[in-house]
Amino acid sequence: MPRDKHNISRTSISEHALKVLYRLHNNNYEAYLVGGCVRDLLLGVEPKDFDVVTNASPEQIKALFRNCRLIGRRFRLAHIVFGRDIIEVATFRGHHPEEDDDANLNTSKQNKEGLLLRDNVYGSIKEDAERRDFTINAMYYSIADFSIHDFANGVSDLEAGIVRLIGDPETRYREDPVRMLRAVRFATKLGLRIEENSRAPIKGLAHLLGNIPPARLFEEFLKLFMNGKAVANFVSLQELGLFNYFFPQIKTALKQEDSNEYRMLYQLFIDTDNRLNNGKGVTPAYLFAAILWYPVVSRAEELTQDGGLPEYDAFQIAAADVVGKQAQSISIPKRFSLPARDIWLLQLRLQQTAPRRAERLLGHPKFRAGYDFLLLRAKIEQRPDLQELADFWTEFQRGKETGHNPPGAPGQSTAPRKRRRPRRKSGPKDTGPAKDKS
C-alpha cells in the first residue's frame, strides 16, 4: 500500500521510534514498524508502544546504538533505551530448518508438545510475516518509502472485524499457547471476533497454558485485566476454558455463576473497568486480594478448627499458603502479594470499632484498599452484619472529615458514658490504744 493509500503519518509515530528507523535505514539496513503499532495506527488508535523489525542481526544493532541492550533467550531482541521509553528491535525471523543436526539445535528447539523453547532462526521479511501470530499483526510500515507491506491480508481482516491466526491454528497454539490469550485480548480490545477456525481448537488445547512460566502468565494477566476490558476478557476466558489456568484454586467455584466467587470476580472487574476508564488507578494487589479471598477464608477456617489457632494467626498462615500455591500458576511479586495480605488482615481489624482503635486504623497505609474491599464483600455476600460494619466505617470517615463526632460501634450505644467519681482512699481506722495482754 503506497503512502497515498493509507492514513499513517510520521507525526503519529514516536520520535524515538523514528530515530531508530532512520539510523538503521541510513546504515543500509531494512527498517520497518511492525505488529500492533501498525494495526492501531490504521485504526486511528494511539499505540501503546512501537516495535521495529530489521534484517540487521542483534549484534549489528548493538553496534549502531550505544543505548542498546540485548535480551531474551527464546528469541534474541534488542532494546534501545531512551530514558523510560524503550524501542524493541527484532531481527527478521525465519523458518525452522527441517534437518535435525547439531547446528540447528543451537538456534531452535521445541519440546514434545510443540512449544518453542528457543527460536533464534533469522530470515527475510516474507518469512518473518509468515512467522507472525495473527494476520492483523503481520503488517509492516517501511521508513524507506512510507508504504505498508501487508503479507497476510491483515487489512481485509481488520475491515471484516476478524482475529485470524496465520497458518494451522493447532500448530501455532502449540508453538506458543499464550497466543490463545492474545486472541482473546485482541478481540476484546479492538471490538473484533475470533475467526471460527482460530477459535475451534482453543478449548482442547487450554491445558497447554500449564506449561507457561508463572512469570509470563503474570504479565499476561496484567495485559488482560488492567486495560479497561476486564469484564469482556473474563467472560471470554471462561467460555474458552482458559481462566482456570490463572487461578486453579477457585476453578470449581467458578463453574456456578451464582457462587460468591463468580459474583465477586464479575463485580471486581466491573469496578476495575470503571476506574480505569475514568482515569483512576487500580493496583494489581487489590485484584489478587479479591480473587483469592475465598481460598484464604477457607484455609483459615481449616486452621482454626483443626489446629485451634486464633483467628488472626490462622489468617496469616492461610495467606502464606494460598499465595504459595498461587505462585505455581502466576508468580505474584512481593510488591503486590504483601499489600494483598494487608488487605486480607484488615478485614479482621476493621471489626475493631472502638473509637480509639478505629481512629488509629484510619492511618493504616492500606486502610482505603481494605475499606473498599469491605464494601465489595458487603455487596456480594449481602450479610446484614457486613453491611452494618461497612456503614459504620463510611460514617466514621465522614464524621472525621466534617468534624462531627464519629458514630459508635455497630450494635453499641453512642451515648457518652457516665464518669464515675473516684473513691477517696481512707487511711487505716483508729481502733484506740492497743490492749496490754500481759
The CATH number of the structural domain formed by 1-160 is 3.30.460.10
Q: For 169-180, what is each residue's pLDDT tens digit?
A: 999 999 999 999
Cβ–Cβ < 8 Å for 3, 144 = no
Q: Which long-range contacts (CB under 8 A, 24 or more apart) does 350-354 make?
A: 350/374, 350/389, 350/393, 351/389, 353/389, 353/392, 353/396, 353/408, 353/409, 353/410, 353/412, 354/409
Pair type for strands 116-119 and 108-110: antiparallel
Provide the residue ranges of all domains of the chain, joining segments of one domain with +. Answer: 1-160, 311-402
Task: Tell me what pLDDT residue 75 has.
Answer: 76
Rounded Cα gap, residues 232 and 188, in angstroms: 6
Task: Tell me what pLDDT residue 419 has.
Answer: 54
Catalytic residue annotation: 49, 51, 133
**Which residue reads 519440546 in cell numbers?**
111
Q: Residue 245: name the closest of 264, 218, 282 by CA.
A: 218
Q: What is the mean pLDDT of the chain?
A: 89
Rounded Cα gap, residues 28 and 394, in angstroms: 65
The fold of 311-402 is cca-adding enzyme, domain 2 (1.10.3090)
Task: Tell me what pLDDT residue 234 has.
Answer: 98
List the beta bridge partners of residue 68: 80
What does the pLDDT average to over 282-311? 94
Task: Tell me what pLDDT residue 41 has.
Answer: 95
Task: Tell me what pLDDT residue 312 has.
Answer: 94
What does the pLDDT average to over 379-398? 95
Percent of the chain with pLDDT over 70: 86
Task: Tell me what pLDDT residue 422 has.
Answer: 58
Cβ–Cβ < 8 Å for 124, 92 = yes
Helices and strands of the chain, counted as H and E runs: 20, 11
